[in-house]
Structure 1
Amino acid sequence: MKLTMGEKLRILLKRKNVTIVELSRRIGTSNQNLANKFKRDNFSTKELEEIAEALGCEFEGYFVDKDGYKL
């Protein structure tokens, strides 16, 4: 079964020890807005690129962590 983007992001947040509240602060959006995006699994490519940058990753259609993890 394929993971949704929201599930992939949750895994990445856990590995990076970053909360959704902290991520929302880093990307300049409200916690409620980001929580809604997770609930709907509705992220634009631009948002995913911003999230990747905020987490010290690259987004290439998937996330590549500096430790080599691909999600």
Structure 2
Amino acid sequence: MSVSEQLKILCVKLGISVSELGRISGKSPQAFSQKMKRESFTVDELKQIAEAAGCQYEGTFIMPSGEKVTY
């Protein structure tokens, strides 16, 4: 599963749009969408996204409930 697919699943589980995830992580929806298309997120960016979404990132996203979104 790609990082973009993981991010989409994370959004569904959080009940937010991909655009909203981009906004809360400090990127414009357009820039976030382009990074998703290119699969060009760094580990640091993924950690920042997870933190902004109230999650942890350890190669997977860990929901507050402990559920993991992984591949």
Q: Which of the five TM-score ranges fits, normalised by the shorter chain?
A: 0.7 to 0.9
Query: How far is 1:41 from its partner?
Result: 1.4
Across the aligned residues of Structure 1 and Structure 2, the Cα RMSD in angstroms comes to 1.0
2:3 aligns with: 5
1:28 aligns with: 26
TM-score of the superposed pair, with normalisation by structure 2: 0.88
Query: How far is 1:20 from its partner?
Result: 1.8
In structure 2, give the amino acid aligned to 1:63. F
1:43 aligns with: 41
Q: Which runs of 5+ in 1 are unaligned?
A: none
Counting aligned pairs with the same residue, the percent is 39
TM-score of the superposed pair, with normalisation by structure 1: 0.88
Mapped to 1, the partners of 2:7 and 2:21 lie a distance apart of 11
Deviating 4+ runs (over 6 angstroms): none
